[in-house]
A and B are shown apart, each in its own frame.
Chain A
């Protein structure tokens, strides 16, 4: 998405609809394709959530104007996607084990959970209240250079630093050794 207006949102949702239709009509006939369809729907859910997040951020940061028609479009598309994806997930659960293990069932379950959270706790975007989000550090070039100097000069945490919360010590030591979360 680029402009986040109604035309842009319509393009996004129409493309998603077309790909869902294509997926439903051609790839749900047998178990091998069912697994692929589960994966595709997980991707659709993620794409939708990311589209909404980008749109919301654009309004929050003052890069796009809020249009209630765009919000309505997102909500309708989200509900339709949730209906189709959850139906597919239920179907996948029923088929699980009949043919073979459907590896992408969990991926769709997780994507559906995120979509459900986005829709059930829907937030209407509006311009930020916090000044930094609204207009950044609105400073002269010289002042910005001074900020950069001060940021660059900030001292690191001491070498023996560790989290104040002992429950985070294990994670901290693991990360220090280069481990993953």
Chain B
């Protein structure tokens, strides 16, 4: 499926105590893993790490999705030990029909990561991990310029060996 140009969304940085965070936490995600990450990992990444949470509204003002960006060391062995940007989670409001919002959200998170890297606050490679079953998400990430860097799917021992890929994108600008 191809989308037109990314839908212009208005991004707003939110906190854990905001009504928006409460709202997105209540969304009825089809994949329970999304809710587990949102309620389990994201608050910890915000409080103990450097994670920011963004919500996105369409031109009509509807809350259509959210995205998160952390600066962490998960893939530090590939960045010379430097902290790097990482996308822990993003999702579209499951109660609406998506019109390419995923691409818009990923583009915005790439923007923010690139600005941080340009400012010298992190390494210039943006990482994410995605289960191989999430084909739609992998397609969106690929459209946005991410490459699968793990040579083979990696089994997740705590999810019955469910395999995942590590994807990455360089976010420094060619000179």
Contact = CB atoms under 8 A, between A and B. Distances in A.
A151 B150 contact: no
Interface in A47-74: 52-57, 60
B74 A136 contact: yes
A155 interface: yes
A122 B48 CA distance: 10
A9 to B, nearest CB: 15
Task: Describe B's contact surface by its main secondary structure.
Answer: mixed
- Categorize the interface residue count of chain B: 35 or more
Contact of B48 (A56, A131, A172): A56
- Categorize the interface residue count of chain A: 35 or more
Contacts of B129: 130-132
A135 B157 contact: yes
A136 to B, nearest CB: 6
Given A156-B174, A157-B174, A165-B111, A129 B168 contact: no
Contact of B158 (A118, A134, A156, A159): A134
Given A147-B78, A161-B173, A168-B115, A121 B107 contact: no
B19 to A, nearest CB: 14
A123 B157 CA distance: 25
B78 A132 contact: no
A125 B147 contact: no
28 contacts: A56-B44, A60-B45, A60-B49, A123-B16, A123-B44, A123-B47, A126-B40, A129-B33, A129-B36, A129-B40, A130-B89, A131-B158, A132-B86, A135-B157, A136-B74, A137-B75, A143-B152, A154-B149, A154-B169, A157-B170, A157-B173, A158-B173, A159-B175, A161-B174, A164-B111, A165-B11, A165-B111, A181-B119
A133 interface: yes
Interface in B12-58: 15-17, 33, 36-37, 40-41, 43-49
A173 to B, nearest CB: 11
